[in-house]
Amino acid sequence: MTITNDIKYVGVNDHKIDLFEGQFDVPLGMAYNSYVILDDKIAVLDSVDKNFKGEWLNNISAVLGKKQPDYLIVHHMEGDHSANISAFMEKYPKATVVGSSGAFNMMKNYFGTSYDDRRIVVKTGDVLHLGKHNLTFVSTPMVHWPEVIMSYDSTDKVLFSADAFGKFGANDTEDPEGWDCEARRYYFGIVGKYGVQVQKALNDLKPFDIKTICSLHGPVLTGDLSHYLEQYNTWSSYGVETEGVFIAYSSVYGHTKQAALFLEEELKKLGCPKVSIADLAREDMYECVEDAFRYGKLVIATTTYNGDIFPVAKHFVERLLARGYQKRNIGIIENGSWAPQVVNVIKKMFDNSKEINFYSTCVKIVGAMNQTNKDELNSLAKELIAK
Ligand code: FEO
């Protein structure tokens, strides 16, 4: 695949993977992107997952023909991109590896060498001259590991963005939902904790006139890039992407589910612009996490369990907390047959979170939903609509 006259795609698609990074379901597979810049000096940009060593090296050979690469540029050391660095360096003994100082420290740990005699260490502002193309480096720590660096080719106006702007899904499989859904699930699943660092990276990239974004995952982004940049700005500032309510529930015998569905109907009757609802035990957990960040208002409906809250609800809240969940209004529907604990537990879990407000109506079900609970749900729906 040709990105520009001089920039070629040499990445791979993974359809055998079951869980990306050992935890994310990827029904559309995964892409590990890698690129080659053909110029007076030839640069290969990043490696791919260990299972694709042969395919990747063949892709590079197919683009290079009899030419030899001068550089392997390492933007990120996570295994899905770095696994074949040593294989590349063995195959091309005259090549120099280019990366941040942090990347070389990691190489020593992964490969037993930091390529001291075959390396160029780069940091923000450094430029690698390839001929017609000049790559300017920008350190972007924690997007998504500390050693990450991006690079910008001022000739073709291409940003090589490491994990940023990536998405789940192989590149040879059409995503019926377009870029946003799996890019959002990827962002909040993997990078969500590092909003401050992503904001800094976006700011540091402002001087560049970017026409194309080449991420390490997902499609090459071209055309009007403002949508992707705006989404990243919203997500990393913990802003509200979509006005509406996300109801996340767990239910043992169906009573809590019934209350969640009742609230959904009340909200719709009151004209709520969007209501999303998910069973935490059955929906993909990271679909739930992304929806919690997507909407401005969250309702958690769950049961008391061993003096705590139901395990999947606990896991859900823990995942939000791990990603710095903030700037949101939360409603609670609690159920408990003899000693309801949900309100206490959830409020305590968010004790140290920033700008979390709880609605004053707490729906307290003791077993099955009754008329009082319906009235409470109606009040909660009105509060959710009001603010
Ligand atoms: Fe795609 Fe953070 O590795």
Q: Write the pLDDT tens digit of every residue in 125-153.
A: 999 999 999 999 999 999 989 999 999 99
Report whether residue 167 contacts ligand 1, using a CB cutoff of 6 Å: no
Report whether residue 144 contacts ligand 1, using a CB cutoff of 6 Å: yes
Atom of ligand 1 nearest to the CA of 145: 2
What is the CA(56)–ligand 1 centre distance, in A?
17
In one-letter notation, the amino acid at residue 138 is: V
How many Å apart are CA 179 and CA 171, to the nearest integer?
11
Report whether residue 80 contacts ligand 1, using a CB cutoff of 6 Å: yes
The answer to whether the CB of 104 falls within 8 A of the CB of 12 is no
* pLDDT score, position 112: 96
Q: Give the largest Cα separation in the chain, rounded.
A: 78
Over residues 231-236, mean pLDDT: 98
What is the CA(104)–ligand 1 centre distance, in A?
17
CB proximity list for 279: less than 8 A, separation 6 or greater: 249, 250, 251, 257
Report whether residue 216 contacts ligand 1, using a CB cutoff of 6 Å: yes
What is the CA(121)–ligand 1 centre distance, in A?
20
**For 243-274, what is each residue's pLDDT tens digit?**
999 999 999 999 999 999 999 999 999 999 99
How many Å apart are CA 208 and CA 171, to the nearest integer?
26
What is the CA(21)–ligand 1 centre distance, in A?
8
Indicate if the pLDDT at residue 1 is higher than 90. Answer: no
Pairing state of beta strands 71-73 and 43-45? parallel
- Tokens of residue 230, six digits: 């705006």
Burial class (CB in 10 A: 0-12, 13-18, 19+), 292: buried
- HSE-up of residue 37 (Cα within 13 Å, Cβ side): 29
Q: Which residue has the tokens 């949508």?
A: 227
How many Å apart are CA 20 and CA 246, to the nearest integer?
25
Report whether residue 76 contacts ligand 1, using a CB cutoff of 6 Å: yes
Atom of ligand 1 nearest to the CA of 190: 2
Over residues 161-168, mean pLDDT: 98
**For 177-228, what is each residue's pLDDT tens digit?**
999 999 999 999 999 999 999 999 999 999 999 999 999 999 999 999 999 9
Nearest Cα to Cα of residue 191 among 139, 224, 238: 238
What is the CA(85)–ligand 1 centre distance, in A?
15
Over residues 148-168, mean pLDDT: 98
Q: Which residue has the tokens 């707490």?
A: 362
Report whether residue 75 contacts ligand 1, using a CB cutoff of 6 Å: no
Report whether residue 81 contacts ligand 1, using a CB cutoff of 6 Å: yes
Atom of ligand 1 nearest to the CA of 144: 2
Work out the pLDDT band at 29, boundaries 50, 70, 90.
very high
Atom of ligand 1 nearest to the CA of 166: 1
**For 72-107, what is each residue's pLDDT tens digit?**
999 999 999 999 999 999 999 999 999 999 999 999
SS3 377: helix
Indicate if the pLDDT at residue 164 is higher than 90. Answer: yes
Q: Of all protein residues, whose CA lies closest to atom 3 belonging to ligand 1?
A: 78
Q: Which residue has the tokens 């053909």?
A: 38
Nearest Cα to Cα of residue 246 among 184, 296, 181: 296
Atom of ligand 1 nearest to the CA of 216: 1
Work out the pLDDT band at 239, boundaries 50, 70, 90.
very high
Give how far Cα 182 sits from Cα of 169, 321, 372, Å: 7, 21, 40
**For 349-375, what is each residue's pLDDT tens digit?**
999 999 999 999 999 999 999 999 999
Q: Of all protein residues, whose CA lies closest to atom 1 belonging to ligand 1?
A: 163
What is the CA(148)–ligand 1 centre distance, in A?
10
CB proximity list for 111: less than 8 A, separation 6 or greater: 85, 86
Q: What is the value of pTM for the model shown?
A: 0.96
Q: What angle do CA 184, 187, 193 make, to 5 degrees?
A: 135
SS3 158: strand
How many Å apart are CA 211 and CA 154, to the nearest integer?
10
How many Å apart are CA 170 and CA 12, to the nearest integer?
8
Buried b (16+ CB within 10 A) or exposed e, 127-157: ebebeebebbbbbbbbbbbbbbbbbbbebbe
How many Å apart are CA 225 and CA 153, to the nearest integer?
16
The answer to whether the CB of 330 falls within 8 A of the CB of 358 is yes
What is the CA(242)–ligand 1 centre distance, in A?
27
* pLDDT score, position 381: 98
CB proximity list for 112: less than 8 A, separation 6 or greater: none
Pairing state of beta strands 295-305 and 328-335? parallel
* pLDDT score, position 233: 98
Report whether residue 323 contacts ligand 1, using a CB cutoff of 6 Å: no
What is the CA(214)–ligand 1 centre distance, in A?
14
What is the CA(163)–ligand 1 centre distance, in A?
5
Pairing state of beta strands 35-37 and 119-121? unpaired
What is the CA(217)–ligand 1 centre distance, in A?
8
